[in-house]
Chain A
């Protein structure tokens, strides 16, 4: 990830900031400017997600990317937020603790870093509630 690319999406990585269509009551993360269901009838407003949801499914990563080899093995899952959107995230628990359907909440963690001299990337991960 380049520094400009990270900076542009920084607010949405640090917090679960998305959008909400008041016409059809659908929530979006990452944010959408236009509701794909309502099109021009849609009324979009910003929405800060509470950060709680459930683990829909997961996998165990044994061979991670080079820069985070020390993290292995770790759990990568799809979380469904209580408001509806689904997102892929690392789940902070041991592989033995992970369970489909378990309640999770968002936390602020290091996602990675460019190099020992480079930028540190922070963002959202999930822990068991």
Chain B
């Protein structure tokens, strides 16, 4: 297969935030201990007229606009999410129409809890690498659900990232990818149910840590690399504690984890989580630097990627909002406004 990689990228984060303390106060919990146990201080909240589709479109437009890509070159659009607004009717067709990529392309929606977006990257890599298409658009977008009062409510956030995958004009090459998948009942949402269920502490060791560490170690074995060969590591960020611990277990330092560690002031953007960390790293990485990114999706699996940044990355700087710019100057909302925006209040 020819070398494939990232031609462009774009991110989108809604402007609203709610503080963990505000949620804790609503449910009579101790905000201080929740903040410390999760290492999350606030999370993004979608506007009342934003959903997975609108976030995916904004991220896709940002990716296309950053490099002034002709959308008609895009031969495949895959959107990973666990909060597609339609159960039947693809998010990806709406994105395709909204960016002007129709009608000569293939499109589908992916669902694999928090790793649907990285599965989309791999699918695009295959199509692009085999020469079946010129460019592919892989999107991870979510307005994550958490039942009122559930532990998930402190972290379930909104945001999305789109990557344009191609063979030439690469800003970063994806040198290798490695996946690990098992049938793991750690987190699920049944058809017709508004909120997911989870296995509590069961989601940690046998689910997140086993899969993400297995995939990251497998990638390093496959590519004969060690943590010292990487400048950055980005791991799925369901909270702050999990990726910090997993990075330590793998042998990475805080310096390698820091630039892509966006969860404390963003929350868990589910399908957008690891990809948001990658986008934050691409915003500042220099040519020649190497990134290890590993997603995690409950159910369960992890996709790991070795990304090497190329000279073209400099051409993309300041052509679209960076992740740190998107995180800047948020508007904080009360729990009542958050509940209204998320449709938790029925009128």
Contact = CB atoms under 8 A, between A and B. Distances in A.
Nearest to B343: A70
Interface string B124-143: 00000000000000000000
Contacts of B50: 109-110
Interface in A57-85: 69-71
B340 interface: yes
A120 B347 contact: no
A112 to B, nearest CB: 9
A70 B54 CA distance: 18
A110 B97 contact: no
B48 A70 contact: yes
A92 B100 contact: no
A70 B97 contact: no
A15 B57 CA distance: 11
A11 B99 CA distance: 10
Interface string B94-125: 10011010000000000000000000000000
A125 interface: yes
B347 A109 contact: no
A100 interface: no
A70 B98 contact: no
A38 interface: no
A110 B86 contact: no
B169 interface: no
B47 A92 contact: yes
Interface string A1-43: 0000000001100110000000000000000000000000000
A87 interface: no
Contacts of B86: 120
Given A11-B97, A15-B98, A122-B54, A108 B48 contact: no
B98 A107 contact: no
Contacts, number: 44
A123 B209 CA distance: 41
Interface string A102-115: 00000111110000
A71 B50 CA distance: 12
Most A Cβ at <10 Å: residue of B54, B58, B85: B54
A14 B58 contact: no
Interface residues of A, number: 17
Contacts of B61: 108
Interface in B44-89: 47-51, 53-54, 57-58, 61, 85-86
Contacts of B57: 108, 122
A52 B1 CA distance: 42
B55 to A, nearest CB: 9
A6 B123 CA distance: 32
Nearest to B47: A92
A51 to B, nearest CB: 10
Contacts of A48: 100
Interface string B142-171: 000000000000000000000000000000
B193 interface: no
Given A71-B49, A92-B47, A108 B98 contact: yes
Q: Of B49, B58, B340, which is in contact with the most chain A CB atoms at under 10 Å from its CB? A: B49
A71 B48 contact: yes
A122 B102 CA distance: 17
Given A70-B340, A109-B47, 19 more contacts: A10-B97, A14-B94, A14-B97, A48-B100, A92-B49, A107-B54, A108-B54, A108-B57, A108-B61, A109-B49, A109-B50, A110-B50, A110-B51, A110-B54, A111-B49, A120-B51, A120-B53, A120-B86, A122-B94
Interface of B: 47-51, 53-54, 57-58, 61, 85-86, 94, 97-98, 100, 340, 345, 347
17 contacts: A14-B94, A14-B98, A15-B100, A69-B347, A70-B340, A71-B48, A92-B47, A108-B57, A108-B61, A108-B98, A109-B50, A109-B54, A110-B50, A120-B85, A122-B54, A122-B57, A122-B98
